[in-house]
């Protein structure tokens, strides 16, 4: 095969590699594409790159032979081991991954990328592979690790804040007015009789305060530079998760100040009594059951006399269940820990069930919004050559109506 025929094959294969690499880059950014599929596509690209390197080596050999340069070919063979190693290092480097991503994002090929300094290493890799970077339409070698995305662990945080009253305030401390329900109705008045005074409205002052909470996350500048993914978008989501964890912790801590009553003897009867008797009918009608995974599992095992599960699916949500029409909201056991007493055969583990209307029970106060800022100059960033990302939030929870929620425990 003459050099021209080899160059035609190199050009065609280069076009195929460029198209396949662009498709792989797009699919790597799609979280719905499985890792197995990505690895298979990347393996095919690596095979195509090896074939391209072989064609380029054959082309170089043919050109050298025509020019009488067999001595150069022998030197190339002697140095092949060292060049292969250098090429592998290039394809594994973060610099090459960034350059390849730059070329893909800007639609560059071997002709148009020459004017960009960011693509220099792409030509160096072609030279190291034994080929020539002079083609107009050929493709670049694909990096060994094209997937530089950040893979997040999927954990359901289940924010509790929507189940409670939420209010944004402008001052770190303050108070709200709460009226008490009237205790008596209208008394009987005889004709021409004297109308007496009744009980007066009574108002309570409910104080609130918020605390400033903050966290600094140092991020190395090398990571910011080397990662092709949008690292700051990930960091923003990371801080948002920390915010949900903090709010849940504050609300659960307040819930656990309620006195607990054990209903493990007859869980069904205990739950019904809480809804029918212990809560005001107005509260009971809009109640929610808040528990953890263990408590939810215990409720999910309950059956009536006809062996039908007492937790019924919510017709408005495929993943939500209800008990006597009240929604059941479950958080992780890590967020709401179980309580274990005794040891050995006497060990008993119980989960909390909070039943009632959270919006009447307590208010989550936020002062201002969630603040997120970064700097590479202040703090320790200058000394450590890093970027510091700071998150600040001001939160507080206050109980308003202690009778709007009851706490039960169930053996799990």
Do both 119 and 155 map to the same domain? Answer: no
Show the domain range for 390: 150-412
Last residue of a domain, one of 94, 128, 162: 128
Q: Is the pLDDT of residue 12 over 70?
A: yes
pLDDT in tens, 201-213: 778 888 999 999 9
Residue 133 included in any domain: no
Do both 199 and 100 map to the same domain? Answer: no
Which band of pLDDT confidence, cut at 50, 70 and 90, is reported for residue 33? confident
> What own/partner pairs with CB < 8 Å and gap ≥ 24 does 256-259 have?
256/352, 256/407, 257/399, 258/354, 258/402, 258/405, 258/406, 258/407, 259/407
Residue 359 included in any domain: yes
Residue 138 included in any domain: no
pLDDT in tens, 231-270: 777 787 888 889 999 999 999 999 999 999 998 778 888 9
What is the average per-residue pLDDT within 34-59? 81
User: Phi/psi at 155 (nearest 5 deg)?
Assistant: -135, 135
CATH number at residue 204: 3.30.2400.10
Residue 231 included in any domain: yes
pLDDT in tens, 177-202: 888 777 777 888 888 888 877 677 77
d(CA 94, CA 96): 5
What separation in angstroms does the CA of 406 have from each of 96, 121, 159, 353, 354?
60, 66, 20, 8, 6
Residue 139 included in any domain: no
Instruction: Say how many domains are in the chain.
Output: 2
Do both 87 and 181 map to the same domain? Answer: no
pLDDT in tens, 290-308: 999 999 999 998 887 788 8
Residue 28 included in any domain: yes
Do both 88 and 162 map to the same domain? Answer: no
Do both 110 and 156 map to the same domain? Answer: no
DSSP-derived letter for residue 276 is I
């Amino acid at each position: 095969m003459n050099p021209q025929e080899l160059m035609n094959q190199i050009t065609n294969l280069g076009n195929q590699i460029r198209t396949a690499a662009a498709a792989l880059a797009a699919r790597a950014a799609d979280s719905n594409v499985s890792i197995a599929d990505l690895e298979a596509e990347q393996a095919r690209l690596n095979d195509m790159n090896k074939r391209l390197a072989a064609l380029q080596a054959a082309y170089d050999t043919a050109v050298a032979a025509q020019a009488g340069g067999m001595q150069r070919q022998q030197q190339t063979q002697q140095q092949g081991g060292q060049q292969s190693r250098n090429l592998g290092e290039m394809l594994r480097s973060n610099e090459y991954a960034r350059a390849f991503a730059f070329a893909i994002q800007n639609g560059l090929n071997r002709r148009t990328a020459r004017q960009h300094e960011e693509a220099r290493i792409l030509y160096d890799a072609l030279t190291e592979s034994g080929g020539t970077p002079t083609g107009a339409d050929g493709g670049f070698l694909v990096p060994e690790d094209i997937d530089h995305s950040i893979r997040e662990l999927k954990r359901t945080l289940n924010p509790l804040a929507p189940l409670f009253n939420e209010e944004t305030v402008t001052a770190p401390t303050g108070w709200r007015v709460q009226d008490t329900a009237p205790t008596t109705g209208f008394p009987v008045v005889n004709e021409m009789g004297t109308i007496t005074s009744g009980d007066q409205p009574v108002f309570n002052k409910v104080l609130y305060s918020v605390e400033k909470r903050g966290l600094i996350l140092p991020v190395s500048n090398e990571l910011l530079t080397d990662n092709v993914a949008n690292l700051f978008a990930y960091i923003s989501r990371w801080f948002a998760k920390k915010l949900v964890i903090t709010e849940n912790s504050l609300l659960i801590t307040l819930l656990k100040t309620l006195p607990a009553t054990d209903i493990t003897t007859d869980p069904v009867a205990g739950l019904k009594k809480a809804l029918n008797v212990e809560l005001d009918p107005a509260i009971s009608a809009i109640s929610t059951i808040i528990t953890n995974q263990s408590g939810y599992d215990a409720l999910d095992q309950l059956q009536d006399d006809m062996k039908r599960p007492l937790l019924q699916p919510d017709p408005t949500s495929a993943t939500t269940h209800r008990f006597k029409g009240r929604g059941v909201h479950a958080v992780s056991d890590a967020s709401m820990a179980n309580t274990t007493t005794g040891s050995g055969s006497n060990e008993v583990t119980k989960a909390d069930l909070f039943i009632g209307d959270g919006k009447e029970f307590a208010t989550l106060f936020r002062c201002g919004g969630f603040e997120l800022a970064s700097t590479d100059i202040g703090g320790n960033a200058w000394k450590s050559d890093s970027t510091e990302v700071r998150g600040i939030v001001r939160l507080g929870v206050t109980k308003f109506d202690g009778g709007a929620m009851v706490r039960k425990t169930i053996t799990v």
